[in-house]
Every structure is written in C-alpha cells, then in structure tokens.
Amino acid sequence: MVLTLAAGLIGLRLAAQLALNVLNASEVRRHAAGPPPAVAAMMDAATYGRAVGYSLAKLRFDSIVDTVDAAVLAAALASGVLPWLYAPFRALAPDGSWNGALYLLATGLLLGLVSLPFDWWGQFRLEQRFGFNQSTLRLWVADKLKGMLLVVGIGFPLLWALLGLVRWTGDRWWLWGFALLFGFQLLLIVLYPRLILPLFNRLTPLAAGELRERLLALADRTGFRARTIQVMDGSRRSAHSNAFFTGFGRFRRIVLYDTLVDQLAPGELEAVLAHEIGHYKRGHIPKMLAVSAALQAGGFALVAWLARSAWFNAAFGFPPRELAPTFLLFGLLSGLVTFWFSPVFNLVSRHHEYEADAFARDAVHGPGPLVDALRKLARKNLSNLTPHPLYSGFHYSHPTPVERERALTG
Ligand SMILES: [Zn+2]
C-alpha cells in the first residue's frame, strides 16, 4: 500500500516533469522562426538561433535525466536492495549510531554514482557543443573526488550526532536534531567562502583601479560597507557568468565571476553589484533562512513521527523504529512531495529578484545599466527568453530577462 503510493508519486512527478519539458520545447519551437519583439530587441537573429538550439538540447537531456532518476528511485525502493545493504551495517553495532551514519553515506554515494555519467555528458558534450565548457576531465574528476571527501568528512560526524540524539535526548530528539542541523548550516554559511569555496576556486580581491573605486563607492553610497569584493575564477570550468552573495552580518561578501568582469562594462557591473546589495538591504537572506528553518523543523517532526510508527520502515523492508532507514527513506521520498511546491518557492524568489532589481535601478539612478547588463548576459548565456509559463513556474527562480526589463522600465 505504502509502496504503491510511493510508486504512484514517482510516476506522477515524472509525468509532470516530462510534460513540462515537452510543453516548454514546443513553446521554444513556436517562437523559433520569429522571436517576439521584446526578445528581438535583446538578441540578434544568429544568437537567438543558437539560444533556441541550446534550450532544446538541454530539455531533451533533462527528460533523459528525469526518467533515469525516476527509474533508479523506483528500482531502489522496490528491489529490496536498500534493506539488504542495511543488514551488514546494522550487524556491526546493533545499538550504535556510527554504523547507521556509514550506511547513509554509503547508500548516498552508491546512488550518486548513477548520476556521474550524466554529469559528464552534460559538461563535456552538451555544454561543450555550445561553447560553454572550459573544464578538463582531470579537473572534473578532481572536483568529484573533493566533493565526495567533503560529503564524508562533514556528513559522517553530523549524521552520527543526529542518529545518536535519540539516546541522549529521548522523544524530543527531533527538536535538538533540527537545532543541530540549522546551527551547523549557519556555521557553514560563514565558513563556506573561507574554507570550502577555495578548495575548488581561486578567489582574489578585485584589482585596484577605476572599476574597484566605482564599486566600493556604490557600496558606501548604499550603506553596504563592503571590505572586499572578490573575483572568482569561474572561467576554469564554464563560460557562463554569474555573481553571488554569501554569508551574513560581518561575514557577508560579494563574489563576481571573472567571466562577468570580462563580459560587462564598469557601469553594468556596478548595476549587477547594486542588485546583489539589494538582496542584502531588503533582508532577503534572513527571510529565506527563516522559511528554511520552519521547513526543516517540520521535516524533523515528520521524520520523528515516521520513525515512531510501526508501518513506515516496514513498508520498504526495513526493521521498524530504526532511525537511519527512516532518514534514508525521507531523503529519497521528500522530493516527490516538495516538487509540487516549487512554484510557490519560485514565486517568492522571483519577487525578491524584482525587489533587488528595483533597488539597483534607484542606486545607479536609472534602469539603463542593468537593462544593458541583462541583455548582454542573456546573449552570453544563451538564455531561453520564451519559456512556457508553466515551465518557468516550476523551474525558474529568476524572472526571464524580458520580464525583468519590462519591470525595470515599466
Ligand atoms: Zn538576484
């Protein structure tokens, strides 16, 4: 019964994902011969043609990945391989927590292996074909190994502690578990740009000169008081460009991709930085953290309830009332439900993007520079400027450049 329900949810999500991809592809094709006027103003015909090709190729690839993911998940749940693998780990220490943590990591890494060939294909075939790939096989393998070591190094102690909490704190363990995980996430936000990001990228302070003066003046004017603006060598892996904001409070910092610095004029970069500062000044980071905290607390309460039940673990062939399998099943199944809420999260995120854009427009005294930056970035990244509204509802955390330009100038 529970297994049937899970199978139904897997099928339902896959059907929705494939339908959205087909819907979006037909929307792109519908405009392929002649772009709408607002799009034609952003992209010349040749670039638009390449953007159409890139969008369609990505959608085909996504459909394959979605299908394989669903098949792997269904097979993992129905075949009995997960409880079969659990037995030897459990035998190591029937009352222990460390072996449960090892089991979760081993299972996660095994399931992650399936995605490796697709990840490779995406980078060295798809991105390569459209001129975006800058990575090498050697760098790609090194990235994967480092990522794996990080997952084990950080994940093992954290999972061990989470699984051990029941013994130390009793029925209220999930509240402590939530506090532990959320506290750890806050710590990670601070440590990420200092300890983890440098493992993968080189970060250098933006060189002295006109651009730096201009950006620091903007930061001063908007009350952001940036100490440094860092440039990251994103070009080592991809020609795609980006800017982002990490940390909070004293630990906040702004990181610009070197590709972005190369592609944009100083005035445009100033507008992009003003947008990032806008996220900070409008309080988007604490708001998103609060939402995430509420969701995680709810998730922990649900895990605790499922772990107490006699039916949940048993439905998938696991011994009942053992926490490690409940965590695993929750991790595998929760996406089947949260997928349907992604339009809500994207709606909030897009609202924040509009707010940050409006902040940037005021900070640089007019929409011109940000509009120019958005147009240039849409061309350089071959953005799909005509997504189907249902598709963008499920998949776009940002409004399209056309929508942003309309909001900026309207
Ligand atoms: Zn933004």
pLDDT in tens, 362-385: 999 999 999 999 999 999 999 999
Decide: residue 190, CB within 10 A, 0-12 exposed, 13-18 middle, 19+ buried: middle
User: What is the CA(158)–ligand 1 centre distance, in A?
Assistant: 31
User: What is the CA(19)–ligand 1 centre distance, in A?
Assistant: 28
What is the arithmetic mean of pLDDT over 103-127?
A: 96
**Under a CB-based contact definition with an 8 Å cutoff, are residues 65 and 99 in contact?**
no
Banded model confidence at residue 22, pLDDT cuts 50, 70, 90: very high
Phi, psi dihedral angles at 316 (to 5 degrees)? -110, 15
Provide the annotated active-site residues.
Answer: 276, 357
Spatial distance between the Cα atoms of 303 and 331, rounded to a whole number of angstroms: 10
pLDDT at 95: 84
Q: Which strand (E) or helix (H) includes residue 113?
A: helix 98-113
Secondary structure letter of residue 238 according to DSSP? B
Phi, psi dihedral angles at 159 (to 5 degrees)? -65, -40
What is the arithmetic mean of pLDDT over 354-368?
A: 97
Is 90 exceeded by the pLDDT of residue 11?
yes
Q: What do you get for the CA distance between the two ends of the chain, in Å?
A: 53
Banded model confidence at residue 93, pLDDT cuts 50, 70, 90: very high
User: What is the CA(399)–ligand 1 centre distance, in A?
Assistant: 10
Banded model confidence at residue 28, pLDDT cuts 50, 70, 90: very high
User: What is the CA(353)–ligand 1 centre distance, in A?
Assistant: 5
Contacts 24+ apart (CB under 8 A), 404-408: 404/353, 404/354, 404/357, 404/374, 405/38, 405/42, 405/367, 405/371, 405/374, 405/375, 406/38, 407/354, 407/357, 407/358, 408/357, 408/358, 408/361, 408/367, 408/370, 408/371
User: What is the CA(356)–ligand 1 centre distance, in A?
Assistant: 6
Is 80 exceeded by the pLDDT of residue 199?
yes
Spatial distance between the Cα atoms of 237 and 146, rounded to a whole number of angstroms: 15
User: What is the CA(279)–ligand 1 centre distance, in A?
Assistant: 7
Lowest mean pLDDT among 151-165, 247-261, 286-300: 247-261
Average confidence score pLDDT of the chain:
94
pLDDT at 386: 96
What does the block give as tokens for 253? Answer: 């910092």
User: What is the CA(396)–ligand 1 centre distance, in A?
Assistant: 12
Is 80 exceeded by the pLDDT of residue 250?
no
**Under a CB-based contact definition with an 8 Å cutoff, are residues 267 and 305 in contact?**
no
User: What is the CA(361)–ligand 1 centre distance, in A?
Assistant: 13
Spatial distance between the Cα atoms of 63 and 149, rounded to a whole number of angstroms: 30
What is the arithmetic mean of pLDDT over 27-31?
A: 97
What Rg do the C-alpha atoms of the chain give, in angstroms?
23
pLDDT at 405: 96
User: What is the CA(276)–ligand 1 centre distance, in A?
Assistant: 6
User: What is the CA(76)–ligand 1 centre distance, in A?
Assistant: 37
pLDDT at 15: 98
pLDDT > 90: what percent of the chain? Answer: 88
Q: Are strands 203-205 and 243-246 parallel, antiparallel or unpaired?
A: unpaired
User: What is the CA(280)–ligand 1 centre distance, in A?
Assistant: 10
pLDDT at 362: 96
User: What is the CA(273)–ligand 1 centre distance, in A?
Assistant: 10
Secondary structure letter of residue 236 according to DSSP? G
Give the total residue count for the chain: 410
Lowest mean pLDDT among 166-180, 215-229, 386-400: 215-229
pLDDT tens for residues 66-81?
A: 999 999 999 999 999 9
User: What is the CA(132)–ligand 1 centre distance, in A?
Assistant: 22
Spatial distance between the Cα atoms of 60 and 44, rounded to a whole number of angstroms: 25
pLDDT tens for residues 145-192?
A: 999 999 999 999 999 999 999 888 988 999 999 999 999 999 998 888
Of 355 and 250, the structure prediction assigns the larger pLDDT to: 355
pLDDT at 201: 95
Is 90 exceeded by the pLDDT of residue 251?
no
Strand partners, 220: none
Short-list 127, 276, 251, CA closest to 197: 251
What is the arithmetic mean of pLDDT over 310-334?
A: 96
Strand partners, 245: 254
Residues 6+ apart with CB under 8 A from 223: 281
Strand partners, 238: 133
Spatial distance between the Cα atoms of 360 and 373, rounded to a whole number of angstroms: 12
Q: What share of the chain is helix, strand, coil (3-state, %, to 5)?
A: 75, 5, 20
